[in-house]
Amino acid sequence: MTRIAVIDFETTGMSPLYGDRPTEVAIVMTEGGRVVDQFQSLMNPHRRIPGFIAQLTGITDAMVRAAPPVATVMAEAARFVGAAPLVAHNASFDRKFWQAELAALGLDAAQPFACTVLLARRLYPQAPNHKLSTLAHYLGLAREGRAHRALSDALVTAAVLGRIQADLTERHGLPDAGHAVLSGLQQCSRAAVPGWLQRHAHAA
DNA sequence: TGCCAGGCCCTCTTTAGGGCCTT
C-alpha cells in the first residue's frame, strides 16, 4: 500500500531566502487514503513572528519561546517522513521550507512533492476557489481544530487528498489512484500535470 | 517594524501580464 505523508508548515513569512523560518509543522501519514499516524510540533524559530501572522495562525512569540528549536523538530520530522512522498496544499510553499531546513541540517530532502491545489484546480474547476478552507467546505469535509494551525490544516489536506484519490478511482477508473497521483504529479511539474490529466481523461 | 517569493495557469497571450495560493 502506498504511504503518503501530508505536510503543513506555519512560518514567520513567505520565504526562507529572506530569513523566514517554520514555527510549527504537522505531518499526517496516510495509507490508502486513511490516516495511520501523525506528527506535530511547535518550534522556536529564533525570529519574531509578525503581528498579522500571529493573528492569522494564533501562534505567538510566547508560544514558540518554550518550544524546541527548529533543528531539533525538523530532524524528528525528517525521521518521521523517511522516504515517503510528500503532499501539501500549495506544495511549492511547504517544499521550500522543507528543503531549506533539511539542507541546513545536512539531511537529504529528495522526497517527491505533489500539490493538492494543482490537483483540485483540475478535478474541481467549479469550486468557488481552491483555498484549503473553501475546498474543504465545498467537498463537505469536516475540520477539527483551528484553520491555519498545522495539524488541522494537514488533516484537512489529507481529507482532500483522500477525496481526490476516491474521485480519480470513481470518475476515471484508475486501479491505483494513489500511485497515479504520485507518478503524475511528482514535483508539481508544470509539464507533468496536464499530460497526466489528459492521459487519464482520455482513458476514462 | 515592515519588507522580502515564486510556480502555475489563464488570456484581452506567446517578444506579457496578472491572479491564485501558501504564511
- pLDDT tens digits, one per residue of A24-48: 999 999 998 899 999 999 999 999 9
Model pLDDT, residue A53: 94
Q: What is the pLDDT of residues A171-184, one digit of tens each?
A: 766 655 555 555 54
Nearest nucleotide (C1') to alpha carbon of A10: B23
Using C1' positions and the CA of A8, the closest nucleotide is: B22
- What is chain A's mean pLDDT, rounded? 86
Lowest mean pLDDT segment, chosen from A50-54, A55-59, A86-90, A108-112:
A108-112
Instruction: Give the pLDDT confidence of A56-105 residue by residue, as tens digits.
Output: 999 999 999 999 999 999 999 999 999 999 999 999 999 999 999 999 99
| Mean predicted confidence (pLDDT) in A98-117 | 93
Burial call A54-86: b when 16+ CB within 10 Å, e when fewer: beebebeeebbeebeebeebbbbbbebbeebbb
> Which domains are assigned to chain A?
3-200 (3.30.420.10)
Nucleotide lying nearest to A130, CA to C1' measure: B21
Joined grid coordinates for residue A35: 490516516
Taking the C1' atom of every nucleotide in all shown strands and the CA of A150, the nearest one is B23
Q: Which nucleotides of B are covered by protein (CB under 7 A)?
A: 1-10, 20-23
List residues with CB under 7 Å of strand B. A 8-11, 13-15, 17-20, 23, 48, 50-51, 53, 56-57, 89-90, 92-93, 117-118, 121, 129-133, 148, 153, 187-190, 193-194
- Helices A116-123, A177-185: axis angle to 10 degrees equals 110
Q: What is the pTM of this model?
A: 0.88
Tell me the CA–C1' distance in angstroms for A118 and B13: 21
| A101 CA from B17 C1′ (Å) | 33
* A187 backbone φψ class: left, alpha, beta (φ>0; ψ -120 to 50): left
Torsion of CA A53, A134, A157, A66, to 10 degrees: 20
